[in-house]
């Protein structure tokens, strides 16, 4: 499906990657700089419209292929493996949201 992955430079110099998957349409191109609140795509229904409309959203703390998902040979990763690569999205956003 349509996926957009955005690299973010944090104030402390580290990087994270937000990924938006199962998009119906993408409005940005590879290498394009995006701004806060810029529309990057539209919510889709997954491959072959198999699901109800939704957005698959992740915050990754390591760079991974866009189709990386926590399974190896069909076996789910354990919590420790997940925490090596992914952050809890709500916690990350709450801790890093600019003050209004």
| pTM of the predicted structure, to 2 decimals | 0.83
pLDDT in tens, 17-42: 999 998 999 999 999 999 999 999 99
The answer to whether 15 touches 8, Cβ cutoff 8 Å, is yes
Contact 72, 37 (CB under 8 A): no
When the pLDDT of each residue in the chain is averaged and rounded to a whole number, the result is 88
Which position has the token pair 């990754």? 60
73 touches 30 (CB < 8 A): no
SS3 84: helix
């Amino acid at each position: 499906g349509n996926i957009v992955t955005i690299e973010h430079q944090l104030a402390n110099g580290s990087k994270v990657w937000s990924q938006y998957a199962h998009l119906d349409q993408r409005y940005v191109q590879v290498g394009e700089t995006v701004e806060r609140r810029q529309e990057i795509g539209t919510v889709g229904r997954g491959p072959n419209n198999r699901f109800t409309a939704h957005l698959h959203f992740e915050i990754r703390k390591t760079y991974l292929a866009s189709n990386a998902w926590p399974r190896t040979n069909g076996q789910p990763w354990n919590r420790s493996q997940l925490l090596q690569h992914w952050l809890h999205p709500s916690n990350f956003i709450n801790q890093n949201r600019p003050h209004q």
